[in-house]
Copies of this chain bind each other. A is one copy, B any other.
Amino acid sequence: MKIKNICILGAGTLGSRVALQAAISGYIVTVYDVEQKSLDFSLATMQKLLGQFHKSGQLSKGQEREVLGRIKFTLDPMEAVDDADFINESVTEEADVKKKVWRQFGKIAPKKTIFTTNTSYMLPSMFAEDSGRPTRFCAFHFHDVFYSRVVDIMPHPGTDPSLIPLLEDLGRKLNQVPVTLKKENPGYIFNTMLMALIGAAGKLLTGEVASIEDIDRSWMVNFHMPMGPFGILDSIGLDTAWHVTHKMPDRASVAFAALLKTYLDQGKLGEKTGEGFYSYPNPKYKAQDFVK
Protein backbone atom coordinates (compact mmCIF):
# COMPACT_ATOMS: atom_id res chain seq x y z
CA MET A 1 0.00 0.00 0.00
CA LYS A 2 1.08 3.58 -0.57
CA ILE A 3 0.96 6.05 2.30
CA LYS A 4 -0.25 9.52 1.36
CA ASN A 5 -2.36 10.82 4.22
CA ILE A 6 -0.89 10.98 7.71
CA CYS A 7 -2.89 11.70 10.86
CA ILE A 8 -1.17 12.88 14.04
CA LEU A 9 -3.12 12.43 17.27
CA GLY A 10 -1.91 14.87 19.93
CA ALA A 11 -0.54 18.31 19.02
CA GLY A 12 2.20 18.53 21.66
CA THR A 13 5.85 19.30 20.97
CA LEU A 14 6.78 15.90 19.53
CA GLY A 15 3.52 15.40 17.60
CA SER A 16 3.96 18.82 16.00
CA ARG A 17 7.51 18.06 14.97
CA VAL A 18 6.49 14.71 13.42
CA ALA A 19 3.63 16.43 11.60
CA LEU A 20 5.95 19.13 10.26
CA GLN A 21 8.52 16.61 9.03
CA ALA A 22 5.75 14.60 7.36
CA ALA A 23 4.56 17.70 5.49
CA ILE A 24 8.15 18.58 4.54
CA SER A 25 8.45 15.03 3.15
CA GLY A 26 5.38 15.70 0.98
CA TYR A 27 2.64 13.92 2.92
CA ILE A 28 -0.84 15.36 3.50
CA VAL A 29 -1.07 15.80 7.26
CA THR A 30 -3.94 16.23 9.70
CA VAL A 31 -3.18 17.21 13.28
CA TYR A 32 -5.85 16.39 15.84
CA ASP A 33 -6.21 17.49 19.46
CA VAL A 34 -9.06 17.98 21.92
CA GLU A 35 -8.37 21.66 22.63
CA GLN A 36 -8.03 24.62 20.28
CA LYS A 37 -5.17 26.04 22.34
CA SER A 38 -3.18 22.86 21.70
CA LEU A 39 -3.69 23.28 17.95
CA ASP A 40 -2.63 26.94 18.21
CA PHE A 41 0.51 25.87 20.10
CA SER A 42 1.20 23.29 17.40
CA LEU A 43 1.01 25.82 14.56
CA ALA A 44 3.22 28.25 16.51
CA THR A 45 5.75 25.45 17.12
CA MET A 46 5.84 24.67 13.40
CA GLN A 47 6.18 28.29 12.38
CA LYS A 48 9.09 28.74 14.76
CA LEU A 49 10.85 25.68 13.31
CA LEU A 50 10.15 26.77 9.73
CA GLY A 51 11.63 30.17 10.62
CA GLN A 52 14.82 28.40 11.72
CA PHE A 53 14.93 26.26 8.56
CA HIS A 54 14.43 29.38 6.47
CA LYS A 55 17.21 31.19 8.32
CA SER A 56 19.64 28.30 7.81
CA GLY A 57 18.75 28.17 4.12
CA GLN A 58 17.07 24.75 4.24
CA LEU A 59 13.68 25.99 3.01
CA SER A 60 12.58 29.00 0.96
CA LYS A 61 9.56 31.16 1.88
CA GLY A 62 7.68 29.52 -0.98
CA GLN A 63 8.48 26.05 0.30
CA GLU A 64 7.41 27.07 3.82
CA ARG A 65 3.99 28.07 2.45
CA GLU A 66 3.69 24.79 0.54
CA VAL A 67 4.58 22.79 3.65
CA LEU A 68 2.01 24.59 5.80
CA GLY A 69 -0.51 24.18 2.98
CA ARG A 70 -0.26 20.41 3.40
CA ILE A 71 -1.15 20.56 7.13
CA LYS A 72 -4.69 20.73 8.46
CA PHE A 73 -5.58 21.19 12.17
CA THR A 74 -8.82 19.83 13.55
CA LEU A 75 -10.80 19.20 16.73
CA ASP A 76 -13.11 16.80 14.87
CA PRO A 77 -12.12 13.09 15.17
CA MET A 78 -14.01 12.16 11.97
CA GLU A 79 -12.22 14.82 9.96
CA ALA A 80 -8.91 13.77 11.53
CA VAL A 81 -9.05 10.18 10.30
CA ASP A 82 -10.92 10.73 7.06
CA ASP A 83 -8.95 8.80 4.39
CA ALA A 84 -5.94 8.40 6.76
CA ASP A 85 -3.38 5.81 5.62
CA PHE A 86 -1.33 6.11 8.77
CA ILE A 87 -1.91 7.32 12.33
CA ASN A 88 0.88 8.24 14.76
CA GLU A 89 -0.42 8.85 18.26
CA SER A 90 1.47 11.28 20.52
CA VAL A 91 -1.11 12.01 23.22
CA THR A 92 -0.31 12.40 26.93
CA GLU A 93 1.99 9.67 28.29
CA GLU A 94 -0.74 8.11 30.46
CA ALA A 95 -1.98 4.60 29.79
CA ASP A 96 -5.67 5.42 30.42
CA VAL A 97 -5.62 8.37 28.03
CA LYS A 98 -3.94 6.35 25.31
CA LYS A 99 -6.32 3.42 25.77
CA LYS A 100 -9.31 5.75 25.46
CA VAL A 101 -7.93 7.41 22.34
CA TRP A 102 -7.29 4.06 20.66
CA ARG A 103 -10.74 2.75 21.52
CA GLN A 104 -12.22 5.90 19.95
CA PHE A 105 -10.10 6.03 16.80
CA GLY A 106 -10.05 2.26 16.26
CA LYS A 107 -13.82 2.47 15.68
CA ILE A 108 -13.84 5.36 13.20
CA ALA A 109 -10.63 4.97 11.19
CA PRO A 110 -10.83 3.57 7.63
CA LYS A 111 -10.05 -0.14 7.18
CA LYS A 112 -6.74 0.64 5.43
CA THR A 113 -5.24 2.73 8.26
CA ILE A 114 -2.00 1.64 9.95
CA PHE A 115 -2.02 2.37 13.68
CA THR A 116 1.15 3.48 15.47
CA THR A 117 1.92 4.86 18.90
CA ASN A 118 4.78 7.27 19.60
CA THR A 119 4.91 6.34 23.30
CA SER A 120 8.30 6.84 24.96
CA TYR A 121 8.16 4.37 27.85
CA MET A 122 5.03 2.23 27.38
CA LEU A 123 4.55 -0.81 25.16
CA PRO A 124 2.32 -1.19 22.07
CA SER A 125 0.78 -4.37 23.51
CA MET A 126 -0.85 -2.14 26.17
CA PHE A 127 -3.07 -0.49 23.52
CA ALA A 128 -3.14 -2.91 20.58
CA GLU A 129 -6.35 -4.65 21.66
CA ASP A 130 -8.02 -1.32 22.46
CA SER A 131 -7.57 -0.29 18.84
CA GLY A 132 -9.63 -3.30 17.77
CA ARG A 133 -7.01 -4.13 15.11
CA PRO A 134 -3.96 -5.48 16.92
CA THR A 135 -2.36 -6.89 13.74
CA ARG A 136 -2.24 -3.39 12.26
CA PHE A 137 -0.77 -1.89 15.45
CA CYS A 138 2.93 -1.09 16.11
CA ALA A 139 5.09 1.42 18.01
CA PHE A 140 6.73 4.05 15.77
CA HIS A 141 8.75 6.23 18.09
CA PHE A 142 10.58 9.44 17.25
CA HIS A 143 13.30 11.14 19.30
CA ASP A 144 13.26 14.80 18.37
CA VAL A 145 12.80 14.38 14.60
CA PHE A 146 15.26 17.04 13.43
CA TYR A 147 18.48 16.64 15.48
CA SER A 148 18.13 13.09 16.79
CA ARG A 149 16.78 11.35 13.72
CA VAL A 150 16.17 7.80 14.90
CA VAL A 151 12.74 6.23 14.58
CA ASP A 152 12.19 3.06 16.62
CA ILE A 153 9.92 0.45 15.06
CA MET A 154 8.74 -1.86 17.82
CA PRO A 155 6.11 -4.51 17.08
CA HIS A 156 4.13 -6.28 19.80
CA PRO A 157 3.71 -10.07 19.55
CA GLY A 158 0.52 -9.70 17.47
CA THR A 159 1.81 -7.18 14.91
CA ASP A 160 1.59 -8.41 11.29
CA PRO A 161 5.29 -8.79 10.25
CA SER A 162 4.52 -7.41 6.79
CA LEU A 163 4.03 -3.98 8.39
CA ILE A 164 7.72 -3.75 9.35
CA PRO A 165 9.31 -3.13 5.91
CA LEU A 166 6.53 -0.66 5.16
CA LEU A 167 7.28 1.27 8.36
CA GLU A 168 11.05 1.15 7.72
CA ASP A 169 10.42 2.67 4.31
CA LEU A 170 8.17 5.35 5.77
CA GLY A 171 10.81 6.13 8.41
CA ARG A 172 13.40 6.77 5.70
CA LYS A 173 10.96 8.94 3.74
CA LEU A 174 10.48 10.97 6.92
CA ASN A 175 14.26 11.59 6.92
CA GLN A 176 14.80 9.30 9.91
CA VAL A 177 17.11 6.35 10.46
CA PRO A 178 14.82 3.40 11.23
CA VAL A 179 15.89 0.81 13.81
CA THR A 180 13.77 -2.26 14.34
CA LEU A 181 13.27 -4.06 17.62
CA LYS A 182 12.78 -7.82 17.55
CA LYS A 183 10.58 -7.70 20.62
CA GLU A 184 9.00 -5.22 23.01
CA ASN A 185 11.39 -3.42 25.34
CA PRO A 186 10.51 -0.46 27.59
CA GLY A 187 12.61 2.53 26.47
CA TYR A 188 13.34 0.92 23.08
CA ILE A 189 17.09 0.84 22.30
CA PHE A 190 18.48 4.33 22.81
CA ASN A 191 16.56 5.26 25.95
CA THR A 192 17.57 1.96 27.55
CA MET A 193 21.22 2.84 27.03
CA LEU A 194 20.75 6.50 27.96
CA MET A 195 19.03 5.55 31.23
CA ALA A 196 21.90 3.20 32.06
CA LEU A 197 24.37 6.04 31.50
CA ILE A 198 22.29 8.47 33.55
CA GLY A 199 21.83 5.87 36.28
CA ALA A 200 25.60 5.41 36.52
CA ALA A 201 26.11 9.19 36.64
CA GLY A 202 23.44 9.45 39.36
CA LYS A 203 25.15 6.73 41.37
CA LEU A 204 28.50 8.56 41.14
CA LEU A 205 26.81 11.72 42.41
CA THR A 206 24.71 10.25 45.21
CA GLY A 207 27.65 8.05 46.24
CA GLU A 208 29.68 11.28 46.58
CA VAL A 209 32.37 9.98 44.24
CA ALA A 210 32.60 13.17 42.15
CA SER A 211 30.89 16.50 41.47
CA ILE A 212 28.21 17.16 38.85
CA GLU A 213 30.75 19.17 36.89
CA ASP A 214 33.54 16.57 36.99
CA ILE A 215 31.13 13.80 35.98
CA ASP A 216 29.92 15.81 32.97
CA ARG A 217 33.45 16.93 32.13
CA SER A 218 34.67 13.32 32.01
CA TRP A 219 32.00 12.39 29.49
CA MET A 220 32.28 15.55 27.38
CA VAL A 221 36.06 15.59 27.05
CA ASN A 222 36.59 11.87 26.46
CA PHE A 223 33.81 11.63 23.87
CA HIS A 224 34.05 15.18 22.48
CA MET A 225 30.37 15.70 23.27
CA PRO A 226 28.62 19.04 23.85
CA MET A 227 27.03 17.91 27.13
CA GLY A 228 27.38 15.28 29.82
CA PRO A 229 24.75 13.25 31.67
CA PHE A 230 23.60 16.09 33.94
CA GLY A 231 23.37 18.54 31.06
CA ILE A 232 21.36 15.89 29.19
CA LEU A 233 19.10 15.45 32.24
CA ASP A 234 18.46 19.18 32.34
CA SER A 235 17.40 19.10 28.69
CA ILE A 236 15.18 16.00 29.12
CA GLY A 237 13.55 17.52 32.22
CA LEU A 238 14.15 16.36 35.78
CA ASP A 239 10.44 15.56 36.14
CA THR A 240 10.60 13.09 33.24
CA ALA A 241 13.79 11.57 34.67
CA TRP A 242 12.17 11.21 38.10
CA HIS A 243 9.09 9.68 36.51
CA VAL A 244 11.24 6.92 35.00
CA THR A 245 13.67 6.50 37.91
CA HIS A 246 11.39 6.49 40.94
CA LYS A 247 9.80 3.16 40.00
CA MET A 248 13.14 1.33 39.84
CA PRO A 249 13.81 -0.88 42.84
CA ASP A 250 17.63 -0.92 43.08
CA ARG A 251 19.36 1.09 45.77
CA ALA A 252 21.19 3.47 43.41
CA SER A 253 17.96 4.37 41.56
CA VAL A 254 16.15 4.94 44.84
CA ALA A 255 18.92 7.31 45.98
CA PHE A 256 18.97 9.13 42.65
CA ALA A 257 15.16 9.47 42.53
CA ALA A 258 15.31 10.94 46.03
CA LEU A 259 17.91 13.47 44.88
CA LEU A 260 15.83 14.37 41.79
CA LYS A 261 12.83 14.87 44.07
CA THR A 262 14.68 17.58 46.03
CA TYR A 263 15.06 19.49 42.75
CA LEU A 264 11.42 18.92 41.78
CA ASP A 265 10.24 20.18 45.17
CA GLN A 266 12.09 23.44 44.51
CA GLY A 267 10.54 23.76 41.05
CA LYS A 268 13.89 23.05 39.40
CA LEU A 269 12.96 20.89 36.41
CA GLY A 270 15.95 21.70 34.21
CA GLU A 271 16.33 23.95 31.18
CA LYS A 272 12.60 24.59 30.80
CA THR A 273 12.36 26.23 34.25
CA GLY A 274 15.73 27.97 33.97
CA GLU A 275 17.20 25.89 36.77
CA GLY A 276 18.20 22.25 37.19
CA PHE A 277 21.66 20.85 37.79
CA TYR A 278 22.82 23.99 35.97
CA SER A 279 21.35 27.51 35.57
CA TYR A 280 20.04 28.66 32.19
CA PRO A 281 20.26 30.25 29.64
CA ASN A 282 24.04 30.16 30.15
CA PRO A 283 24.85 26.89 31.91
CA LYS A 284 28.37 26.50 33.23
CA TYR A 285 29.05 23.48 31.01
CA LYS A 286 28.73 25.62 27.88
CA ALA A 287 31.41 28.06 29.05
CA GLN A 288 34.70 27.85 27.17
CA ASP A 289 36.76 27.24 30.30
CA PHE A 290 34.59 24.31 31.47
CA VAL A 291 36.75 21.75 29.74
CA LYS A 292 40.11 23.26 30.53
Chain A interfacial positions (CB closer than 8 Å to B): 143, 147-150, 152, 172, 177, 179-183, 185, 188-190, 192-193, 195-197, 199-201, 203-204, 207-211, 214-215, 217-219, 221-225, 229, 291-292
Tell which of B189, B219, B292 touches A204, judged by Cβ atoms closer than 8 Å: B189
Question: How many Å from the CB of A252 to the closest CB on chain B?
Answer: 10
A197 to B217, CA, bound (A): 17
Contact A204 to B177, CB < 8 A, known contacts A193-B219, A197-B197, A223-B225? no
| Chain B residues whose C-beta falls within 8 Å of the C-beta of A209 in the assembled complex | 181-183, 185, 189, 192
Contact A193 to B197, CB < 8 A, known contacts A148-B221, A179-B217, A181-B209? yes
Question: How many Å from the CB of A275 to the closest CB on chain B?
Answer: 24
* Shortest Cβ distance from A183 into B: residue: B209
9 sampled A-B residue pairs with Cβ under 8 A = A147-B224, A148-B222, A150-B217, A152-B218, A179-B217, A181-B214, A182-B211, A193-B204, A197-B197
